[in-house]
Each structure stands twice: as C-alpha cells, then as structure tokens.
C-alpha cells in the first residue's frame, strides 16, 4: 500500500513539474512577445489590451497545474499547502492593505499591483517551507 502511495505522489510531482515548466515557458514567451510587439508595432488600443492580458493564459495554466496537484497529493501534504496559501494570503493581503494606507496618507511611493501576485507566490513558497518544518 505504501508503495502505491509513493508511486501516486511521485507521478503527481512529475506531472506538476512538467505542467509548471510548460506554463512557465509559455508565460515568459507571452511577456517577451507582448513587450516586443508593443515596442515594435505601436498596436491599436484593443491590441494593447489583448497583449497586456496575454500572460494571464499561461498563469491560469499554472493555477490549473497547482489545483490538479493539490487534488492528487495526500491529506497531510494538502494540509501543508493549504496552510501555506492561507499564510501567504494573510501576509500579502494585510501588507498590501497597510501599504495602501501609507501611499494614500503618508505619501509613500506608488507600487504597481503587478507585484502582488508574485509576492503571493513567493511568500507561499516560504510559508510552505516553514509549515513543513513545523510539522517535522
């Protein structure tokens, strides 16, 4: 039985890694292609909107890969990932909320919202390490 669980976990990790690599390559390609097209061709507004939103498609593929992975791992690993995501949402959510007040009321420099999602992913990775360590 333990061997079957190991095979399932190994397959889930491999699939997740493969899907994330594919989505990441598509994401980088979409970002560079979109930026190049905008700088080179001066497209009309509708095309700018399409190009600006193009990286969302591979980002959604990344989300899909994670959701599938979450469904394939055991309950303990799912708990670790769920706790890490909740910690990340709380840290990034409250940090961005606090910083917004600093921007509005204390004249702090404006920060683009483009950094919220990468911060969420980065803090999630760190939180997963901390949560995993806490359970050892």
- Tens of pLDDT, residue by residue over 42-63, are 999 999 999 999 999 999 999 9
Cα-Cα-Cα-Cα dihedral of 86, 69, 10, 81, to 10°?
Answer: 0
Digit-coded pLDDT (tens) for 82-107 = 999 999 999 999 999 999 999 999 99
Residue 66: count other Cβ atoms within 10 Å of its Cβ: 18
Report yes or no on whether pTM surpasses 0.85: no
Q: Where are the domains of the chain?
A: 1-73, 74-136
- What is the maximal distance between C-alpha atoms in the chain? 60
56: tokens are 């969302």
Evaluate whether 23 touches 58 at the Cβ level (below 8 Å). Answer: yes
């Amino acid at each position: 039985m333990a061997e079957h669980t190991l095979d399932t976990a190994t397959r889930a990790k491999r699939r997740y890694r493969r899907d994330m690599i594919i989505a990441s390559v598509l994401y980088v390609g979409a970002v560079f292609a979109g930026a190049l097209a905008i700088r080179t061709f001066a497209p009309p507004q509708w095309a700018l909107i399409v190009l600006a939103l193009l990286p969302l498609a591979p980002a959604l593929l990344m989300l899909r890969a994670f959701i599938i992975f979450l469904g394939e791992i055991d309950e303990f690993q799912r708990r670790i990932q769920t706790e890490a995501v909740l910690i990340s949402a709380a840290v990034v959510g409250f940090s961005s909320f606090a910083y917004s007040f600093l921007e509005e009321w204390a004249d702090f420099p404006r920060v683009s919202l483009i950094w919220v999602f990468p911060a969420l992913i980065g803090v999630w990775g760190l939180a997963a390490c901390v949560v995993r360590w806490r359970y050892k």
